[in-house]
Amino acid sequence: MNRPTPLRYALLPLAIACAFPAAAEDSTTLGQVVVTAPAMEAPLTVTTDPRAPRQPVPAHDGADYLKNITGFSVIRKGGTDGDPVFRGMAASRLGILLDGEMILGGCGMRMDPPTAYVFPEAFDRITVLKGPQTVKYGPGNSAGVVLFERQPKVRTGFSAYADASLLAGNFGRNDQVLEAGVGNAGFYGEITGTHSHAQDYKDGSGRKVHSAYDRWSTSGALGWTPDADTRIELTFAKSDGKAAYADRSMDGAKFDRSNVGLKFEKSRISPLVAKVEAQVYYNYVDHVMDNYSLRNQTGMRMLSNPDRETQGGRIAATFDLSPRTSLETGIDFQTNDHSLRSGTDFATKPRTPDMRFSSWGLFGELTHDLNAANRLIGGLRVDASKAEDLRAPSARDSGGKTDDTTLKAGFLRWENAFAPTTTLYAGLGHSERAPDYWERSKSPGGTASTFFVKPEKTTQLDTGAIYAAGPLRASASLFYAKHTDFIQIRQISLLASDALNVDATTYGVEGDVSYALGNFWKTFATLAWTHGENDSTGKPLSQIAPLEARLGAGYDDKTWSAGALLRLVQGQKRFDTGYGNIVGQDIGASSGFAIVSLNAAYKPAKGSLISVGVDNLFDKTYAEFISRGGATIGGFTQTTRVNEPGRTVWLKANIAFR
């Protein structure tokens, strides 16, 4: 993965844009020049455009895009495939859906979290729903839900389009994205291809970090729209990649994903039935990890090849019960099978199933307008969840056994348009989460199993306000949660870990404010803080990121723009060594840091945008508190945590043809 950076390709769109201006209006992806901190514009909802240039420049995966949203952090393992953490909650507490489809990784050590298979620029919108304040997207989403969504183009006649972007930066970084589509009022076809490559980056002290990666994806959709209210769509996706990791003794040599899905939507069926939708999908992940493909290895060669097959679907209907009341109700289901095989001759070996999961859920979510200013939103959900341990009884004491669980969830939220400028809200939600594959598969030692760890229960209060008037826009959200049977991971030794239930409390706040100084200048600030307590031990709850603030200013006259970002992170002194989540455990205190980044952009013509930036301007050496510890790797310096990249310079070009 050490090939030269094709910088000349990154400059190509600039030449094209200057020579052949786009024939139509700017594409939606060029509306905001540089996204630094997407704001909350509706109660507990944040929406952002994944195709807009942003700073700091993210890796080409889902987690790195989420870290720019207030309240998110990322557990760094290398250059890509980090695990997103929201309000101190990681892994399956945070639902990740791709166009309504659930995707799950295969690696027992979380090399491939769901966001590792997300190529954000293949989507039109990322939506974050905070807290247990919806029941429509599956069970157990106590921290919230992240929706990566495409939006089919609406056509009244024949049209064709193409959008492209290229990015180049130091440390060998280069990305290419191309989307094209064609269609008319009755049919359409769309296809997207992405590729991203990076070499090992250096931290602020000039130390190389084992972090190179190469990723590609192809996805597409074929749709039939016999009328304005009906859509049938067939989707597909194929992706693969490889990634070096600085936190462990193996790297990811293969991240192969295959996907196919089918959707049906019908709107305005009758005065009562507003919409009916149905969806089925199939996801297959084939992952390979080894200790020799991407690093020098003089000892014994090791290789593991887990896979995961996931099938699911959803049927839902929206009813207009009255002019003030609507109800969305439906059922969803999901099954997934996990298997393993190992050895350098793995391709000749049969796979050995180790666990199987299934769930069926029934949900209903009702919205009722009390009057012109107030409304209530509430929902209930029940899931029948089943886990089967397919391992032999001689391998684990739970081998051959089954765990059946009924999970319940619900919420009630009040929203108030206090004035034309202000929205207030408060909601109480409850969510129950069955232990996932990683929690059930921990090995305390011998044949002991954590398969029957208890389900986790979260009850949370969310409240806040949104204000927008003239040049000022601000929002704040506060939460307080009690976690019963919270599933914590304890690291016992290098090869042994345990999953145990504790009671815990978390609370915190996120806020953002922006102020426009005239027509061209704008300032903004964000704040995120979470506090966690292990009520069972009286110690701090582990893997909680410290207080973080961002301050920024920008200029934009619709042709030229520029901006500056200051990220401030407090040192974290509250930790519980050896305890954490399925991704990582606390390893001690961390220091605070301040990072300065700059950006600028130019629109040479409609439909084109050239942006440039420098992240970590002063080449600061730093690491996130929740990031993994550095491993001993030949040719690299071991660090306490995996350090973040040093000074990073990047150039991005977007062009849209309509």
In percent, the amount of the chain with pLDDT more than 90 equals 88
pLDDT computed for residue 52 by the predictor: 87
pLDDT computed for residue 302 by the predictor: 94
User: Which residues have C-beta within 8 Å of that of residue 477, sequence separation ≥ 6?
Assistant: 40, 44, 130, 462, 463, 464, 509, 510, 511
Q: How far apart, in whole angstroms, are the C-alpha atoms of residue 156 and residue 170?
A: 44
Q: What is the mean pLDDT of residues 599-610?
A: 93
Q: What is the mean pLDDT of residues 206-221?
A: 98
In percent, the amount of the chain with pLDDT more than 70 equals 95
In 3D space, the residue among 485, 482, 526 whose CA is nearest the CA of residue 507 turns out to be 482
Residues 406/414, Cβ–Cβ less than 8 Å:
no
The predicted-structure confidence for 48-57, as pLDDT tens digits, reads as follows 999 888 889 9
Look at the chain and count its residues.
658
pLDDT computed for residue 1 by the predictor: 53
DSSP lists the bridge partners of residue 73 as 85
pLDDT computed for residue 631 by the predictor: 95
pLDDT computed for residue 34 by the predictor: 65
Residue 224 confidence (pLDDT) above 90: yes
Q: What is the DSSP string of 528-545?
A: EEEEEEETTTTEEPSS--
Question: pLDDT class for 33, splitting at 50, 70, 90?
Answer: low
Question: pLDDT class for 154, splitting at 50, 70, 90?
Answer: confident
Cross-sheet strand order for the sheet of 72-75: 72-75, 83-86, 89-90
pLDDT computed for residue 155 by the predictor: 83
Q: What is the distance, to the nearest Å, from the Cα of residue 461 to the centroid of all Cα atoms in its chain? A: 23
Residues 341/297, Cβ–Cβ less than 8 Å:
no
Question: pLDDT class for 236, splitting at 50, 70, 90?
Answer: very high
The predicted-structure confidence for 238-259, as pLDDT tens digits, reads as follows 999 999 999 999 999 999 999 9
Q: What is the mean pLDDT of residues 169-181?
A: 97
Residue with tokens 């695990």, as numbered in its chain: 83
Of 21-25, 29-33, 96-100, 358-362, least confident by mean pLDDT is: 21-25
Q: What is the mean pLDDT of residues 198-227?
A: 97
pLDDT computed for residue 38 by the predictor: 82
Q: What is the mean pLDDT of residues 554-570?
A: 95
The verdict on whether omega for the bond into residue 114 sits within 30 degrees of 0, i.e. cis, is no
pLDDT computed for residue 654 by the predictor: 94
Residue 310 confidence (pLDDT) above 90: yes
Question: pLDDT class for 4, splitting at 50, 70, 90?
Answer: very low
Q: What is the mean pLDDT of residues 122-135?
A: 96
Residues 333/361, Cβ–Cβ less than 8 Å:
yes
Q: How far apart, in whole angstroms, are the C-alpha atoms of residue 399 and residue 413?
A: 43
The predicted-structure confidence for 470-501, as pLDDT tens digits, reads as follows 999 999 999 999 999 999 999 998 888 999 99
pLDDT computed for residue 137 by the predictor: 96
Q: What is the mean pLDDT of residues 410-437?
A: 96
CA geometry: angle at 253 spanning 248 and 254, to 5°? 125
Residue 303 confidence (pLDDT) above 50: yes
CA geometry: angle at 327 spanning 383 and 368, to 5°? 120
DSSP lists the bridge partners of residue 362 as 331, 382
Q: How far apart, in whole angstroms, are the C-alpha atoms of residue 613 and residue 1?
A: 24
pLDDT computed for residue 18 by the predictor: 32
Q: How far apart, in whole angstroms, are the C-alpha atoms of residue 291 and residue 273?
A: 56
Q: What is the mean pLDDT of residues 459-465?
A: 98
Q: How far apart, in whole angstroms, are the C-alpha atoms of residue 415 and residue 463?
A: 10
Q: What is the mean pLDDT of residues 296-322?
A: 95
Q: How far apart, in whole angstroms, are the C-alpha atoms of residue 227 and residue 79?
A: 46
pLDDT computed for residue 337 by the predictor: 98
377-410: b (≥16 Cβ within 10 Å) or e: bbbbbbbebebbbbbeeeebebbebebebebebb
Residue 36 confidence (pLDDT) above 80: no
Q: How far apart, in whole angstroms, are the C-alpha atoms of residue 204 and residue 73?
A: 20
Question: pLDDT class for 26, splitting at 50, 70, 90?
Answer: very low
Residue 22 confidence (pLDDT) above 50: no
DSSP lists the bridge partners of residue 181 as 161, 190
Residue 566 confidence (pLDDT) above 60: yes
Residues 280/261, Cβ–Cβ less than 8 Å:
yes
Q: Is the dihedral of CA 341, 342, 347, 350 positive or negative?
A: negative
Count other Cβ atoms within 10 Å, centred on residue 158.
10
7-360+388-404+435-657 to CATH, choices 2.40.50.180, 3.40.50.620, 3.50.50.60, 2.40.170.20 = 2.40.170.20
User: Which residues have C-beta within 8 Å of that of residue 91, sequence separation ≥ 6?
Assistant: 83, 110, 113, 436, 438, 581, 582, 583
Residues 293/253, Cβ–Cβ less than 8 Å:
yes
Q: What is the distance, to the nearest Å, from the Cα of residue 366 to the centroid of all Cα atoms in its chain? A: 27
Q: What is the mean pLDDT of the chain?
A: 92
pLDDT computed for residue 156 by the predictor: 85
DSSP lists the bridge partners of residue 607 as none
Where are the chain's structural domains? 7-360+388-404+435-657
Q: What is the dihedral of CA 147, 596, 530, 408, to 10 degrees?
A: 10
